[in-house]
Chains A and B, each alone.
Chain A
Amino acid sequence: MEEEEEEARALLPRGSDEAGRDSRATPAASGALQALCDPSRLAHRLVVLLLMCFLGFGSYFCYDNPAALQIQVKRDMQVNTTRFMLLYAWYSWPNVVLCFFGGFLIDRVFGIRWGTIIFSCFVCIGQVVFALGGIFNAFWLMELGRFVFGIGGESLAVAQNTYAVSWFKGKELNLVFGLQLSMARIGSTVNMNLMGWLYSKVEASLGSAGHTTLGVTLMIGGITCILSLVCALALAYLDQRAERILHKEQGKTGEVIKLTDVKHFSLPLWLIFIICVCYYVAIFPFIGLGKVFFTEKFGFSSQAASAINSVVYVISAPMSPVFGLLVDKTGKNIIWVLCAVVTTLASHIMLAFTLWNPWIAMCLLGLSYSLLACALWPMVAFVVPEHQLGTAYGFMQSIQNLGLAVISIIAGMILDTRGYLFLEVFFIACVSSVFKTIYSIVFIAALFIIARAWKQLRYGNDNPICKTKRDTE
């Protein structure tokens, strides 16, 4: 306690020469240590930034475990593609409801620190149960594990953002969000490229493939979730310490969710919702099922297919900040959204109807995915008043998860009965329905303009200007 009071005294705002005199008096090493331990100094906040980035790493790493081990899961657990995709559907189901309550839970019920720890625990427990399902050869246990994992996963992202807002302000915040997103993508990429190799190593050491091998591999992958839990605990400690030292308040999401606001949503906002759902359901289920597509159609090896599957995330990690800057500078979000949708459409058409090297199509997909994320989500803030923003974002994430849950299952069913070409055509139809929505709005707007012009043409005699002119003549 005493040393903390000393630290507090050292850190209270004083004249800089006094602080300088103090620091000159102590050796340089303990000066650096002091900087690291001072919550108001940049070095300490960088440590906190590092912890925040790794907070989400485990969750994003384990989210795509099924995709990286698709062949192994289907073979060892003896399930078809429809049941395999349930592993993704069960992740999304709790988030249909939780997206509304995540902010509420963090602000009112648990507080940011306990909330983060609890959600990290859910992520850990979920992954462990998922792995146990493999060890005990019980697919229902794996589904339960993914459900528990889902409860923690998305809410952890909300907590991560709340920590960011609490520790970083202003211009730094965009950079921090960008870094967090990049770390998340890196987690996904590492998962895609690592898990297949890890499985083969476990198989070599255990001597045979089977559900036990799968369970052990998933358990090893769950170490990243333990890492996230450690980060959550460390962040909670540092946050509490900073509150004590700097007298700053616990972070709050600041979201106010009022479900009754939904009926006040404007037409452009509904259009944005439709674009969000139709677009993301053509990306995530495709990546979930992509590995076998690249192996079978293009003859890639398992390792190469994993690498290509991760390209979307690899590209998104560096390009998200770049595109964010681009969209910020030029404005005109809707044009960028349309560009992204057209590029995704072209990418899926290439994958479906040609035998060209899929690296091209997947790179395009990665670029368009990053562009859309940077252009679409900020649009909500333009069309919705601030007091409805929390509800709007919550609703958007909720229906996004609903769409993903339903389409994941449908994609699995299509694949089992009709094959990959039909699945790709289905995704093309989903993405093009974005166009249909936009063009329907444009069409209706055009009709409206024509109708108004026609009405004015027909009833032009009642134009008050003309009347006045005639009267004066």
Chain B
Amino acid sequence: MSGYEKPSWGWGYCAPSPVLLLSLLTAAPLGLLGEETRQVSLKVISNWPDFSQNLLHIQAVGTNSTLHYVWSSLGPPAVLLVAANTPNSTLSVNWSLLLSSDPDGGLMVLPKESIQFSSALVFTRLFEFDSTNMSDAASRPPGKSYPPYSLANFSWNNITDSLDPATLSATFRGHPVHDPTGAFANGSLTFRVQAFSTSGRPAQPPRLLHSADTCQLEVALAGVSPRGNRSLFGLEVATLGPGPGCPSMQELHSIDDEYAPAVFQLDQLLWGSLPSGFMQWRPVAFSQKQGSRESAMPCQSSPLYPTLAYLLPQSPVVRAFFKTQNNFCAFNLTFGASTGPGYWDQHYLSWSMLLGVGTPPVDALSPLILGIMAVALGAPALMLLAGGLFLLLGHKRYSEYQSIN
């Protein structure tokens, strides 16, 4: 077992930033298809000595590829997703450029030629709708809209404290810088990021199947005072399109709701033809921390629409890596309906998604169900066969006996 030590050196006169390094080594990868396991390391990259600005760099190294997830709370929360086809890829951060008015080049993944896929997600706005007197749950907008909270004007915690090496996770917690109404006095918006070194399925609903090529984001709103009695919240998510067009959004219907009772759908955002980046989530949000069926509320997503860069809060990390690219596409997620469980129950809301590169994980029937079906359908068939055979043989023997006599 050896540790990886990858300090990120600044350019120019930027001092080397103190680095908090956590790594988890796994068993030697036996990957037959893709990468079954990866060595995952989480690093917090801060601009020393100013610890209020930090980036979370998750590096997942496989046998012949590396995935970089750079989560930033500079400006609106954003994630940079880069896939490189070499296990020796590194991230370089130039804080002086990053924090300047033209951050172009402040963030780079080297070597540049190894980059196979790169894109970004930015969470730009938090919406709030008043859903009283709205009987049509599927209407858009789902009610009168209050002024949205722009996530670029939020201040975030120092994620070094929230880093958990055991679960490979970190939590960004934020509240508006200016909060005249005091809505966020006792509450916050949290983004919990979790990386994975192998495939698996968490116990926490909605139990999304993850692989070594993905990481999970859980968005939670807790304790925030709503501005109405039946407030529905929404999130605006912006992405960089693969080309001039927008990524494609798909709804996958399945017969299997074992892992998320009564949810038969999986929503996916694909940046291009496979293998490329993807975003995956179940159209359900939960109004309680435990996340059971009683607290499940529907999550509606609007179609992707192309939008202009200046209409969205800008993330310096995205501008730093993607230079002047501005083919942004955005979509809105709305959590809850006017009736049923909602944020008003316990002032809590959580929604999870997966972000990754490659082939999106696909749910399969669990061995328990297959076993029960095999016994339920197979055993009677076998018994029928055996019984029929015995009867035939027995009858034959009996006839033989008769003829001898």
Contact = CB atoms under 8 A, between A and B. Distances in A.
Tell whether A and B belong to one assembly.
yes
Interface of A: 74-75, 78, 80-81, 209, 292, 296-297, 352-355, 415-422, 425-426, 428-429, 432-433, 435-436, 439-440, 442-443, 446-447, 449-450, 453-454, 456-457, 460, 463, 465-466
A298 to B, nearest CB: 9
A411 to B, nearest CB: 13
Given A421-B256, A453-B398, A296 B263 contact: yes
A375 B52 CA distance: 77
A436 B387 contact: no
B258 A419 contact: yes
Most chain B CB atoms below 10 A, which of A418, A426, A460: A418
Given A354-B255, A418-B261, A439 B394 contact: no
Q: Which 6 A-B pairs rank lowest in CB-CB distance, beginning with the nearest?
A: A419-B261, A419-B257, A435-B380, A439-B383, A432-B376, A450-B394
Nearest to B338: A209
Contacts of A466: 405
Contacts of B264: 296-297, 420
A416 B387 contact: no
Given A418-B258, A420-B261, A421-B255, A450 B380 contact: no
Contacts of A457: 397, 401
A353 B256 CA distance: 8
B373 A428 contact: yes
B10 to A, nearest CB: 51
A360 B386 CA distance: 33
Contacts of B260: 419
Given A296-B264, A421-B369, A440-B383, A450 B390 contact: yes
A443 B387 contact: yes
Contacts of A428: 372-373, 376-377
A416 B292 contact: yes
Nearest to A439: B383
A156 B259 CA distance: 43
B8 to A, nearest CB: 45
Contacts of A456: 398, 401
A419 B365 CA distance: 13
A255 to B, nearest CB: 36
Contact of A421 (B257, B340, B405): B257
Contacts of A436: 379-380, 383
Nearest to B398: A453
B294 interface: yes
Interface in B346-401: 365, 369, 372-373, 375-377, 379-380, 383-384, 386-387, 390-391, 393-394, 397-398, 401
Given A443-B386, A457-B397, A296 B262 contact: yes
Given A419-B257, A419-B258, 4 more contacts: A355-B255, A419-B262, A453-B394, A460-B401
B253 interface: yes
Contacts of B256: 421
B376 A429 contact: yes
Given A353-B255, A435-B380, A457-B401, A81 B293 contact: yes
Contacts of B369: 421-422, 425
Interface in B249-280: 253, 255-264
Most chain B CB atoms below 10 A, which of A75, A292, A354: A75
B339 interface: yes
Chain B's interface size range is 35 or more
Contacts of B397: 453-454, 457
A166 to B, nearest CB: 44
A415 B261 CA distance: 7
Contacts of A292: 262
B262 A420 contact: yes
A432 B377 contact: yes
B373 A425 contact: yes
Interface of B: 253, 255-264, 292-294, 339-340, 365, 369, 372-373, 375-377, 379-380, 383-384, 386-387, 390-391, 393-394, 397-398, 401, 405
A417 B383 contact: no
A41 B372 CA distance: 59
A426 B373 CA distance: 9
Contacts of A209: 339
Contact of A442 (B373, B387, B394): B387
A345 to B, nearest CB: 8
Nearest to B341: A75
B209 to A, nearest CB: 15
A416 B255 CA distance: 17
A418 B366 CA distance: 11
Contacts of A447: 390
A81 B253 CA distance: 24
A421 B372 contact: no
Contacts of A354: 255
A418 B260 CA distance: 8
Contacts of B294: 74, 78, 80, 416
A460 B256 CA distance: 60
B293 A80 contact: yes
Contacts of A78: 294
B36 to A, nearest CB: 27
B373 A416 contact: no
A457 B405 CA distance: 11
Contacts of A442: 383-384, 387
A465 B386 CA distance: 34
B403 to A, nearest CB: 13
15 contacts: A75-B339, A75-B340, A80-B292, A296-B264, A355-B255, A416-B293, A419-B257, A419-B258, A421-B258, A421-B369, A432-B376, A443-B386, A453-B401, A460-B405, A465-B405
Most chain B CB atoms below 10 A, which of A354, A418, A446: A446
Contacts of A439: 380, 383-384, 387
A208 to B, nearest CB: 9
A449 B391 contact: yes
B341 to A, nearest CB: 8
Contacts of A443: 383, 386-387, 390
Contact of B261 (A74, A352, A417, A454): A417
A453 B401 CA distance: 9
Nearest to A416: B293
Contacts of B373: 425, 428
B257 A297 contact: yes
Nearest to B298: A296
Contacts of B377: 428, 432
Contacts of A420: 257, 261-262, 264
Given A416-B292, A440-B383, A449 B394 contact: yes
A439 B387 CA distance: 8
B206 to A, nearest CB: 11
A350 to B, nearest CB: 11
A450 B393 CA distance: 8
B347 to A, nearest CB: 17
A303 to B, nearest CB: 14
Contacts of A416: 261, 292-294
Given A419-B258, A419-B260, A420-B262, A355 B398 contact: no
A74 B259 CA distance: 21
